[in-house]
């Protein structure tokens, strides 16, 4: 099995574990998903992003 680096958002340290060794918080993959022109799920990700923006009332993802 291939192991990937993971990052704790609270401590900002990198580890290979699912749980942070320093704060015991959940770790996440720090890299974006690979781009594919045949992306079948792009429509759902974009809809989810706009749904979250509507809930927050703040559009910090757009600049200008």
Examine residue 63 and state whether it is found in any structural domain, yes or no. no
Examine residue 50 and state whether it is found in any structural domain, yes or no. no
The set of residues, in sequence order, having a beta carbon less than 8 Å from that of 30 and lying 6+ positions away, is 5, 6, 7, 14
Number of domains present in the structure of the chain: 1
Domain that holds residue 6: 1-33
The three-state secondary structure class of 45 is helix
Examine residue 3 and state whether it is found in any structural domain, yes or no. yes
For the full predicted model, state whether its pTM sits above 0.75: no
Examine residue 21 and state whether it is found in any structural domain, yes or no. yes
Examine residue 48 and state whether it is found in any structural domain, yes or no. no
Q: How far is CA 14 from the centre of its chain?
A: 15
CA angle (22, 24, 29) in 5-degree steps: 90
List the pLDDT tens digit at each of the 64 positions of the chain.
467 899 999 999 999 999 999 999 999 888 877 778 888 888 888 898 888 777 766 555 555 4
Element (H, E) at 7: strand 6-7
Examine residue 16 and state whether it is found in any structural domain, yes or no. yes
Examine residue 1 and state whether it is found in any structural domain, yes or no. yes
């Amino acid at each position: 099995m291939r192991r990937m680096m993971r990052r704790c958002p609270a401590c900002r340290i990198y580890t290979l574990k699912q749980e942070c060794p320093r704060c015991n918080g959940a770790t996440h993959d720090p890299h974006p998903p690979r781009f594919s022109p045949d992306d079948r799920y792009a429509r759902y990700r974009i809809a989810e992003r706009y749904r979250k923006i509507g809930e927050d009332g703040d559009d910090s993802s757009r600049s200008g």
